[in-house]
Structure 1
Amino acid sequence: MNPDLDRVPAGPEQTDIYDVYALRYTWNDRRRIHENFLRRDMLDGPMPIDFYIWILRNQHRTVIVDTGFGRRAEAERGQSLEIDPIEALRIIGIEPDEVEDVVLTHLHYDHAGNIDKFARARFHVQEAEVAYATGSCMGSAAMRYTFDVENVAQIVRLTFAERVVHHCGTAEPFPGISLHLLPGHSEGLQGVRVDTRRGPLLLACDASVYFSNYIRRAPFGITIDVRDTLAAFRSIARLTGSIAHLIPGHDPLIRKLYPSISVAGVELVALHAKPDPARFEELRGG
């Protein structure tokens, strides 16, 4: 890890090129292999999971992708927080009240909490995701357990306040950033494609929770539509062109593949930096 900085770097001067950082706010070392794949006919064992938010930054704008979960969800769900993601942003020099745009990849509790902490932001979400999260499937406990009703209600309120941008499929809300519908894990999950100095990256989020979901074409354990998930894998291949440009949603491996910087004691994984090529060869083989 590089020496400690006081605040996150400002990023490139170009308006359409970004530095991209992953901020891990908690993790679960108790997770098992069988929880992470629909198929259960494989050897079981530990397969930890990390929880991230992402920061897209240049000298003209800062876009936050996903907002994590907060203390209420921690208490209700039994998933501990190592650091509150909102506090982590403040520590590294990003005031949530000053953030103008937040992209929500989907509305699961661990991606769409803390919405009320971004007092000025516009929230970018797929219209299909809002429809799903407020539709008939939420009448089923099995289908709604990954959602938090308060988070969803906040999105409805903010829609009335004209602070939600509902996208319908592919969109380009900012120079160098595009959104792509990748359903399967959730009805309106969207990936975020970002131009960086090493080429475009795809924050696939939970369209591929781990690298291995994509590499093996093996859907994650929480999947509402297998056919859509398989189609999303094909879209990921088209949007990335190379696994070195894929960023999965929860994989601890990204902390080994990419260098990190420390900002006031908070670790940020620099996804725009060159990855370790030898480790990617290991991934392709696995």
Structure 2
Amino acid sequence: MTWQVHAVKYADRNARTRADSFMFDDDHAAPHAMDYFMWILQDGARTILVDTGYDADEGARRDRPIRLDPREALAPLGIRPEEIDTLIVTHLHYDHAGGLHLFPNATLHLQEAEMAYATGPCMCHRALNHPFTAEHVCEAVKRVYAGRVVFYDDFGEVAPGVTVHRIGGHSRGLQAVRVDTEAGTMCLASDAAHYYENAFAGKLFPIVADAEDMLRGFDRIISLASHKGLLIPGHDPLVRELFPCHDQAEWIHRLDLGPMKELPF
């Protein structure tokens, strides 16, 4: 089975430098923009959402405004939030799980290690808890009590042709998503590689729970894709240059047919 895959941009943050993206870099002062994405997997009969983005209230709290409400961003694909029943949460950081409440009927697919990390003693430290928002984590806990979380311990199959793989590094239970597509096997890396440069140049992202896991993770996500053009990083604006735009929405890009040109790496 092959899946159609779209990247849906809902926000960006352009007042950044390379110091915000790479722990050790030769030009920390240079500008370095960031895009914020959700991903949609469709096989004709089924729709799977990968991550939720965050809403305007969270954007205001963090002074990181969004361009589109996640629900509005998904509308050109014919997706109604209440109809989403399968939601892969790559990790519980605010920009990936900040919209859980927007998809009230979804069952979450999450790594055991991520829930343990986000609710455990590490969250007593501001250096580790700042990418999380307690209300988002509590929403995930409520889904546990409602019987609507499927947990994985490293590897799991969400649907035929869609598997999750714990990578760790950026967050203790971060998972990547492997998807069978017409162009080959794709790896939605999420924040296992914020940018292509993280993975292909082995550069650590500054928000890191375990540096060794992050570095090992670069090799693993590369190996999960059929070729490097099918590795999709979590926040790289270059994705929008490499993949074709939706004909009715400039913020949506189709990934499953492969990139339009070679990666510059």
Asked if these proteins are the same fold (TM beyond 0.5), I'd say yes
Q: Report if aligned partners of 1:17, 1:196 keep a CA contact under 8 Å in 2.
A: yes
2:255 is the counterpart of 1:268: no
Matched to 1:65, the amino acid is: V
In the alignment, what sits opposite 1:61? 46
In the alignment, what sits opposite 1:177? 162
Q: How does 1:182-261 map to 2 (within 5 A)?
A: 182-261=167-246
In the alignment, what sits opposite 1:13? none
Q: Report if aligned partners of 1:22, 1:269 keep a CA contact under 8 Å in 2.
A: yes
TM-score (norm 1): 0.90
Task: Give the C-alpha shift of residue 276 in structure 1.
Answer: 2.5
Aligned counterparts of 1:180 and 1:234: Cα–Cα separation in 2 = 13
Aligned counterparts of 2:30 and 2:181: Cα–Cα separation in 1 = 36
Aligned counterparts of 1:261 and 1:71: Cα–Cα separation in 2 = 24
Task: Give the C-alpha shift of residue 88 in structure 1.
Answer: 1.9
**Given the alignment, which residue of 103, 109, 131 partners 1:146?**
131
Matched to 1:44, the amino acid is: A
**Given the alignment, which residue of 112, 128, 138 partners 1:127?**
112
Q: How does 1:65-80 map to 2 (within 5 A)?
A: 65-80=50-65
CA RMSD of aligned residues (A): 1.3
Q: Deviations over 1:174-222 (max 9, x none)?
A: 0010101111000000000000111110000100000000111011111
Matched to 2:6, the amino acid is: Y
Aligned counterparts of 2:183 and 2:120: Cα–Cα separation in 1 = 40
**Given the alignment, which residue of 66, 72, 78 partners 1:81?**
66
Task: Give the C-alpha shift of residue 126 in structure 1.
Answer: 0.4
Q: Deviations over 1:227-248 (max 9, x none)?
A: 0011111211221242111000
Q: Report if aligned partners of 2:10, 2:251 keep a CA contact under 8 Å in 1.
A: no
Task: Give the C-alpha shift of residue 41 in structure 1.
Answer: 4.4
Task: Give the C-alpha shift of residue 62 in structure 1.
Answer: 0.2
Matched to 1:165, the amino acid is: V
Task: Give the C-alpha shift of residue 262 in structure 1.
Answer: 3.1
Task: Give the C-alpha shift of residue 43 in structure 1.
Answer: 4.8
Aligned counterparts of 2:241 and 2:30: Cα–Cα separation in 1 = 20
Give 3-state SS (helix, strand or coil) of 1:130's partner.
Answer: helix
Compared with structure 1, are the counterparts of its residues 39 and 89 closer, same or farther at alpha carbon in structure 2 (3 Å cutoff)? same
**Given the alignment, which residue of 129, 138, 147 partners 1:162?**
147
Matched to 2:258, the amino acid is: K
Equivalent pairs, count = 265
TM-score (norm 2): 0.96
More off after superposition, 129-138 vs 231-240: 231-240
Aligned counterparts of 2:247 and 2:145: Cα–Cα separation in 1 = 39
Aligned counterparts of 1:177 and 1:115: Cα–Cα separation in 2 = 21
Q: Report if aligned partners of 1:23, 1:53 keep a CA contact under 8 Å in 2.
A: yes
Q: Report if aligned partners of 1:48, 1:252 keep a CA contact under 8 Å in 2.
A: yes
Unaligned runs of 5+ in 1: 1-15
In the alignment, what sits opposite 1:48? 33
In the alignment, what sits opposite 1:6? none
Q: Report if aligned partners of 1:67, 1:114 keep a CA contact under 8 Å in 2.
A: yes
2:3 is the counterpart of 1:18: yes
Q: Report if aligned partners of 2:187, 2:230 keep a CA contact under 8 Å in 1.
A: yes
Larger Rg: 1
Aligned counterparts of 1:256 and 1:90: Cα–Cα separation in 2 = 22
Give 3-state SS (helix, strand or coil) of 1:105's partner.
Answer: coil
Unaligned runs of 5+ in 2: none
Q: Sequence identity, in percent?
A: 39
Q: How does 1:87-126 map to 2 (within 5 A)?
A: 87-126=72-111
Q: Deviations over 1:61-95 (max 9, x none)?
A: 00000000012111100001100112222353201
Aligned counterparts of 2:229 and 2:74: Cα–Cα separation in 1 = 27
